[in-house]
A and B are shown apart, each in its own frame.
Chain A
Amino acid sequence: MSASAVHSLWTTAADPISKIEAPKIEYGQLSPILIVLGAALVGILVEAFAPRRVRYHAQLLLSAVALCAAFAAIVALAADGYGTTKAHIAAMGALAVDGPALFLQGTILLAGLVALFTFAERRLDPDPHGHRTDSFVAQAAAVPGSDSEKAAVRAGFTTTEVFPLLLFAVAGMLVFPAANDLLTLFIALEVFSLPLYLMCALARRKRLLSQEAAVKYFLLGAFASAFTLFGIALLYGYAGSVSYATIARVVDGTVTTVNPALVDTMGNDALLLIGAAMIVMGLLFKVGAVPFHMWTPDVYQGAPTPLTGFMAAATKVAAFGALLRLLYVVLPGLRWDWRPVMWAVAIITMLGGAIVAITQTDVKRLLAYSSIAHAGFILAGVIATTPDGVSSVLFYLAAYSFVTIGAFAVVTLVRDAGGEATHLSKWAGLGRRSPLVAAVFAVFLLAFAGIPLTSGFAGKFAVFKAAAEGGAAPLVVVGVISSAIAAFFYIRVIVLMFFSEPRQDGPTVAVPSLLTSTAIGVGVAVTLVLGVAPQYFLNLANQAGIFVR
């Protein structure tokens, strides 16, 4: 008797399960994300199995190769026409492969690569035991000031886990602006947020500040993502689906198949309005727009400075990408409701960021408030609701992210006995002591201020022009006024650096290795190129400005 015949003595075959169709995944088009995620997983294996002395070089090489390969994949996809004619929705409706997604993913990858160089810098902090140490803690589990911490420092440990964590964060950020359903949006949000929370707590110097920043960021971030999730639940309840296209059809009232349950919930505008508001709130939190900006200065100040640069640049790019897609693809039918709200948010963000920045005395907090003001400028472009608005936001994000990483990289160079000397009074006379570093920082500050011939001017001009043409002229007036306020404190720092006497106990300027030099050099180069000859990149952003739905 055969085995199956024996088996059939005491079992009866159930009806065959109706065929489950295997999902169709376009691996080629998702390759940028898959490469980065795969490298992050390999990075964890390196942590587990490679001996300590080879980890740093292995991780650095692995991360750099992965980010370069992913960027090459993006370029190949864009050259293949996926940004324009072949734009479509991949992975069973989960991810969009279109112009804005590819443009923002490319920006995030390049920003991640430049940030990786600042992460890997090991020459700034002279170690009394002769080891080469980076900006990250020797052993995160050791209590600050304890014997175990001293032992870890003496042994020359470094936290090379930051490299896979960086890759995980980058992977989440790649998915975030491309997410084409609300579930993917939420998962991507968490995938890039959790590594950032962890890395916040890993500063080598001033560890109490760093841990405090991590707790604040984590609790507020989890609070905000709970709001996002409840908003997603309400929108799901409203439309009966989490897919962007379906929700957009239900919002427009052009839905084709209507069942009784949908008729019931479709009529309930409270679900739609509250749900959309809660999701947008979560995204505005990540962007750092007033009134959801409270975490920004504390977290930017406490986090390790290379991470601050990465967060300030890449998180903003990813979150604005997701915000644009949500507002332009899912909620265009609701724009008469969200535009006034976003007007108000943009105005208080621009003015609030610029005005509070004047009172700051710490250079990292100053840059944090400046990043809040910049979020307001970008929001002005989001409100335009025109194709020009999209492309100007894309351009602004690309220009802004390199300036930011460069500026924070310069902050890592100015040091005293306690680590980085971030108090502004210590920067007095830096231009006399170290003209090159001060001049580079001045270039970045001028770009933040939007002075012509820097990328900041080209970006601001594009955003304000789009906003004015989109019927938001008063917003442009507010934007110009707050730019003027912001220019005041940028110029004040420049004056402080060049026209005041250096202090006796002033900081020293560390000589960086090739890594940080590259990061700063790229920042300056992008700032000047985008400022002097922005046309090519504006055209690129223009071509990439159409969402697929």
Chain B
Amino acid sequence: MNPVNYLYLAALLFTIGATGVLIRRNAIVVFMCVELMLNACNLAFVTFSRMHGNLDGQIIAFFTMVVAAAEVVVGLAIIVSLFRSRHSASVDDASLMKL
């Protein structure tokens, strides 16, 4: 199969993730959409790695996974602390600061 199709899939996943970040209101779901974007990046890296015949892209995919895991740790800690103090994880409710 032509590897370019995987790039289209990666772009599609990235777009779905980005759209989700913009339209969803629950901080957890927004965060999951960000993770989807990171995984779309991984797919693109691996596909390009295959096209170019070098391993850089596959190595970077591992780094991305580690970064995503670290981001989950930090992100969930912040979102959970917000949820515990407000009993809501909606990003619309968190609006104490205005222009």
Contact = CB atoms under 8 A, between A and B. Distances in A.
Interface of A: 140-141, 143-145, 183, 186-187, 190, 194, 197-198, 201, 207-209, 211-216, 218-219, 222-223, 226-227, 229-230, 232-234, 236-237, 240-242, 259, 261-262, 264-265, 297-298, 301-302, 356, 359
B52 A240 contact: yes
A262 B52 contact: yes
Contacts of B54: 240-241
Given A211-B78, A212-B94, A219-B91, 19 more contacts: A140-B81, A183-B56, A186-B64, A190-B70, A201-B81, A209-B96, A215-B91, A216-B91, A219-B27, A219-B34, A223-B37, A226-B17, A230-B44, A233-B41, A236-B45, A236-B48, A242-B56, A242-B60, A265-B48
A236 B34 contact: no
Contacts of A219: 21, 27, 30-31, 34, 75, 91
A189 to B, nearest CB: 9
A242 B43 CA distance: 16
B71 to A, nearest CB: 6
B44 A234 contact: yes
B97 A298 contact: yes
Contact of A194 (B74, B84, B99): B74
Interface residues of B, number: 47
Question: Chain A at the B interface: mostly helix, strand, loop or mixed?
Answer: helix
Contacts of A201: 78, 81
The 9 A-B pairs of least Cβ separation, nearest first, read: A237-B48, A226-B37, A233-B44, A240-B52, A229-B41, A212-B94, A222-B34, A298-B97, A211-B82
Nearest to B98: A298
B89 to A, nearest CB: 9
A234 B51 CA distance: 13
Contact of B82 (A212, A236, A242, A298): A212
Interface in B40-99: 40-41, 44-45, 47-48, 51-54, 56-57, 59-60, 63-64, 67, 70-71, 74-75, 77-79, 81-82, 84-86, 91, 94-97, 99
Contact of A302 (B48, B52, B97): B97
A222 B14 contact: no
Given A219-B34, A222-B71, A198 B78 contact: yes
B16 interface: no
Contact of A236 (B37, B40, B56, B86): B56
B38 to A, nearest CB: 6
A150 to B, nearest CB: 14
Contacts of B63: 183, 186-187
Contacts of B82: 211-212, 214-215
